[in-house]
Chains A and B, each alone.
Chain A
Amino acid sequence: GQNIDQPTEMTATEGAIVQINCTYQTSGFNGLFWYQQHAGEAPTFLSYNVLDGLEEKGRFSSFLSRSKGYSYLLLKELQMKDSASYLCAVISNDYKLSFGAGTTVTVRA
């Protein structure tokens, strides 16, 4: 089975940095995705990691450690529009995505 854990909620101030952690235990591993989902909307793709290390994409970065079963999503220079849920998802040997429950980030002025 798949077990993907991430915090339920986080709050941060506009302009600050927030790190969302994700740990996973899955039957096989072929990569890890992060999606952003605003309330009432569809999830949208943010990042994909398959090798260890940091992938940077503008204000957002994603890190992966395969040996530790661990990833984080780093959001820098937070803006109000970054208030959303962030979904960690692992693609396993059967190429199916398994999702964590999501982390709701609230950005305050």
Chain B
Amino acid sequence: IAGITQAPTSQILAAGRRMTLRCTQDMRHNAMYWYRQDLGLGLRLIHYSNTAGTTGKGEVPDGYSVSRANTDDFPLTLASAVPSQTSVYFCASSDGQGATDTQYFGPGTRLTVL
């Protein structure tokens, strides 16, 4: 069982370019999340999806978009990358059963925007 996979592992991107970070889970979890992690700021929620076909905005959604066409995949797109989007991006998933819902994280994508 792979759990959650993310691709690419790392990427260097020129500012203004479009980039899609991929996330796939095989646990049949209803909910999926995208976070960014920056030094001194901790993990911050970008977008989330409670179930396939629905998405919502997190704490820092500007400059990012997501889609949830099926249960397994939750891609994150940067339409026109900027240097402030340099970060480590983590995808997570959970059963989506409410307060006791434990989130499981993917290995992360390290993105550098120049």
Contact = CB atoms under 8 A, between A and B. Distances in A.
B17 to A, nearest CB: 25
A50 B99 contact: yes
Given A31-B99, A42-B108, A97 B45 contact: yes
A65 B16 CA distance: 47
A99 B44 contact: yes
Contacts, number: 50
A50 B43 contact: no
Nearest to B38: A101
**Main SS at interface, chain B:** loop
Contacts of A21: none
A50 B105 CA distance: 21
A101 B99 contact: no
Interface in A49-96: 50, 87, 89, 91, 95-96
Interface residues of A, number: 23
Contacts of B102: 33, 45, 48
Nearest to B43: A99
Nearest to A45: B102
A50 B100 contact: yes
A30 interface: yes
B99 A96 contact: no
A91 B40 contact: no
A4 B42 CA distance: 10
Given A30-B99, A50-B99, A97-B45, A45 B104 contact: yes
Interface of B: 33, 40-45, 48, 58-59, 90, 98-108
Interface of A: 4, 8, 30-31, 33, 41-45, 48, 50, 87, 89, 91, 95-102
